[in-house]
């Protein structure tokens, strides 16, 4: 893992113009901006909509800067109304980044957690790293980036909760099967935290290094507000990428979190 990017409380948003908007499925859109931002796979930016609010978003591509967003609340609803030519404010990039380990990697993603993994795959393929991707979704309509991963030369496995696409079941079941039959140099995951916790357990059982991108509510993005606390760590300042070794004894990982108001809740 690379070290987190240094940030300052005096960081102010830079103006970016939306160049294009692409509909990925019924609930996810990709926003492509008019210029690039030097980022590494796993890093995030803070996107500000004037008069609305600011939220952290994983980077989908850095050249040009692109983000993929799921419609999950008031902020994303406002973002989804923006179009070509509209402007937003962007701070970052923040956080540390995935580091490639070896020449045969397994990537496991659920929902829009596949976004940062797609960025990682593009970089991995440039270095001729063999990539196997497991895509998890609730139903067929929620599956994203399958064709993109195939075009990049990845082996792709799809599973859905209801069996409407690919295999019925959980991504961790497929990951366990793959790890039982083949030697991977590392496992990378991003998705719902309970999925990540199960993936860490599976990878450690097979003695394979595992790295996951943890998501938490964030207000500042650089370690001031404390909203993204996980055990004695802050996701923005110490992550968002954590190793399985770091997470195995974390008392919050996969168990509890702070909501936007600061109230502790359990998964």
CA distance 39 to 219: 20
Q: What is the pLDDT of residue 222?
A: 84
Could you please state the CATH topology (level 3) that the domain comprising 98-212 is classified under: Rossmann fold (3.40.50)
Q: What is the pLDDT along the chain (267 residues), one digit of tens a residue?
A: 555 544 544 578 999 999 999 999 999 999 999 999 999 999 999 999 999 999 999 999 999 999 999 998 899 999 999 999 999 999 999 999 999 999 999 999 999 999 999 999 999 999 999 999 999 999 999 999 999 999 999 999 999 999 999 999 999 999 999 999 999 999 999 999 999 999 999 999 999 999 999 999 888 888 888 889 999 999 999 999 999 999 999 999 999 888 877 888 898
Count each helix (H run) and each strand (E run) in the chain, helices first.
Answer: 7, 18
Q: What is the pLDDT of residue 6?
A: 47
Domain boundaries, the chain: 14-94, 98-212, 214-267
- How far is CA 33 from its chain centroid? 19
CA distance 105 to 132: 6
User: Exposed, middle or buried: residue 217 (CB in 10 Å: 0-12, 13-18, 19+)?
Assistant: middle
Question: What is the DSSP code (8-state) at residue 84?
Answer: T
Q: What is the pLDDT of residue 246?
A: 95
User: Exposed, middle or buried: residue 120 (CB in 10 Å: 0-12, 13-18, 19+)?
Assistant: buried
Q: Which pTM value belongs to this model?
A: 0.93
Is the domain defined by 14-94 classed in CATH 2.40.30.10? yes
């Amino acid at each position: 893992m690379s070290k987190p990017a240094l940030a300052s409380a005096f960081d102010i948003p830079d103006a970016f113009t939306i160049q294009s908007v692409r509909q990925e499925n019924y609930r996810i859109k990709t926003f492509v901006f008019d210029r690039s931002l030097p980022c590494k796979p796993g890093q995030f930016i803070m996107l500000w909509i004037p008069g609305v609010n600011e939220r952290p978003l994983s980077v989908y591509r850095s050249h040009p800067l692109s983000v993929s967003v799921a419609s999950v609340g008031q902020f994303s609803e406002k973002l989804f109304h923006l179009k070509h030519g509209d402007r937003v404010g962007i701070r970052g990039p923040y956080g540390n980044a995935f580091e490639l380990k070896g020449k045969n990697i397994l990537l496991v993603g659920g929902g829009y957690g596949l976004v940062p993994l797609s960025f990682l795959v593009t970089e991995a393929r440039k270095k001729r790293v063999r990539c196997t991707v497991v895509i998890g979704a609730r139903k067929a309509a929620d599956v994203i980036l399958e064709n993109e991963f195939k075009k990049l030369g990845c082996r792709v496995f799809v599973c859905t909760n209801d069996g409407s696409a690919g295999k019925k079941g959980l991504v961790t079941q497929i990951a366990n099967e793959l790890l039982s039959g083949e030697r991977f140099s590392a496992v990378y995951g991003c998705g719902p935290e309970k999925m990540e916790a199960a993936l860490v357990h599976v990878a450690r059982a097979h003695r394979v290094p595992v790295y996951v991108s943890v998501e938490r509510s964030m207000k500042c993005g650089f370690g001031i507000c404390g909203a993204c606390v996980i055990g004695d760590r802050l996701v923005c300042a110490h992550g968002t990428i954590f190793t399985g070794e770091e997470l195995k004894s974390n008392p919050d990982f996969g168990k509890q979190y702070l909501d936007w108001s600061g109230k502790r809740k359990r998964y």
